[in-house]
Structure 1
Amino acid sequence: MTQKSSPTPGPEQPVRHLDARSLRGLAHPLRMRILDLLTLDGPATSARLAARLGENTGTVSWHLRHLAEHGFIEEESGRGTRRERWWRRVEATNVLNTAEFQDDPDSRGALSVYTHELAQQQFDRVVRYFAEDWDAEWRNAGSVSHWSGLRMTPEQLAALNAELMDVIARHTPPPDAEPDPDALPVVVQLQSFPRKASAPDRSPA
């Protein structure tokens, strides 16, 4: 499985392939939640993040420094003070190829934490969307769909994912574009993976 995360999808985005060290640096539930908030809502201080997450400011500050050490976030220069530092996500597309770590016992635990938290984040976003009060126009525009009748080779599945990524890139405005006053932030979650087929039922009719 290849997992990609980017604040602004598009070909101009630098690409960073996560290695074992950076995976272990990111694979912590609170660090992943911090990075997710900085990605979705933009720069913040440790105090603001702590309030959003219901955590101690000192704990959040420690994890922010850890994320910065591994190059996932950076301090926003020219903003804040020595006592109140603002942090932002580094503009890069993070790419993780999970197959690279399957046979690495030192990274297996970090990979398990990362994938579990990633699935939880995506699940939580959908649950919040269902629970929130949206008007009919926005409710009808959203979609939570799945298709399960496909049969593909690995090459065909990779080609499908590449085409879907191209569609998302075409709908992503350039960074310097004037925002539409009627537009709201949109999250696109793409999940496509093989399913183990059940054994055929051989019980007598």
Structure 2
Amino acid sequence: MTTPRRRIDARSLRGLAHPLRMAILEALELDGPLTSTGLSARLGESTGTISWHLRLLAEHGYIEEEQERGTKRERWWRVPQVRTELNPADFRDDPETSGALKVYLTDLVERYYDRVRRYVAEDWSGEWQHAASLSDWRDLKLTPEQLLALNEELQATIERYTESALAETGAGAGADAASDGKDSRAMPVIVQLQSFPRRQG
């Protein structure tokens, strides 16, 4: 089943472009549903502050309440099964949104760096070190159309593995780890793709 897609517009970008809201969203994306109390402990902010930012994220559709799990006193929040897409070119001629776009992209790049830094600092087995990759390619010369095609092909490959993992999870529901066909070595994996032009000289 194809995951629904949602394109970020100017209003929803301004609703997301805040370091704490992006940290909240990342925590929910990486580790699943959490309460304001759990997020407060994880991010070092008061529950009141977290709750206020949670409401803003929900207002813009980035998160939703997990009603079947929550209570009147404790609400659980999750990221809906919708793939969000941001095209910076949409805001190229919008001065009111350019500041929010810079905040969003700068924070995003810092989070990408922090993820790699944590991986390098941690002690991983030789098997995982061999499987992982920190690579770059510097000898490409592409047109905008070629770069777009390259990114779309890479994204399609990643989505194929994502859909396979989701299918395995669904097939294994209610079965024990030994009988559902999944490899017990499987761990969460982050794929970071950064492709952009550079000016010479």
What TM-score comes out, normalization by structure 2 length? 0.90
Secondary structure of 2:156's aligned partner: helix
Give, in whole Å, the separation in 1 of the partners of 2:154 and 2:15: 29
Partner of 1:192: 195
Q: What is the letter of the counterpart of residue 182 of structure 1?
A: R
Secondary structure of 1:78's aligned partner: coil
Partner of 2:178: none
Q: What is the letter of the counterpart of residue 181 of structure 1?
A: S
Give, in whole Å, the separation in 2 of the partners of 1:182 and 1:82: 38
Greater RCO between the two (CA within 8 Å, min separation 6)? 1
Aligned runs of 1:173-184 on 2, under 5 Å?
173=164, 174-175=166-167, 176-178=170-172, 179-184=182-187
What are the ranges of 5 or more consecutive residues in structure 1 without an aligned counterpart?
A: 1-10, 199-205
Partner of 1:26: 16
Which has more helix, going by share of residues? 2
Partner of 1:113: 103
The CA deviation string for residues 156-176 of structure 1, in whole angstroms up to 9 with x for no partner, is: 111111111111122222342
Using a 3 Å threshold, how does the CA distance of structure 1 residues 119 and 177 change in structure 2: closer, same or farther? farther
Partner of 2:149: 159
Give, in whole Å, the separation in 2 of the partners of 1:26 and 1:180: 36
Partner of 2:125: 135
Match of 2:74 among 74, 78, 84: 84
Secondary structure of 2:66's aligned partner: strand
The CA deviation string for residues 77-113 of structure 1, in whole angstroms up to 9 with x for no partner, is: 2112111100000111111110111211110110010
Q: Alignment RMSD, CA only? A: 1.1
Instruction: Number of aligned residue pairs: give it.
Output: 188
Secondary structure of 1:21's aligned partner: helix
Secondary structure of 1:79's aligned partner: coil
Partner of 1:203: none
Paired-residue identity, %: 60
Match of 1:48 among 38, 42, 62: 38
Give, in whole Å, the separation in 2 of the partners of 1:106 and 1:169: 34
Which has more strand, going by share of residues? 1
Divergent runs of 4+, >4 A: none
What are the ranges of 5 or more consecutive residues in structure 2 without an aligned counterpart?
A: 173-181
Give, in whole Å, the separation in 2 of the partners of 1:183 and 1:177: 16
Give, in whole Å, the separation in 2 of the partners of 1:103 and 1:87: 35
The CA deviation string for residues 170-204 of structure 1, in whole angstroms up to 9 with x for no partner, is: 22223424343210000101111111111xxxxxx
Partner of 1:62: 52
Give, in whole Å, the separation in 2 of the partners of 1:177 and 1:166: 22
Quote the offset at 1:15 in angstroms: 0.5
Secondary structure of 2:85's aligned partner: strand
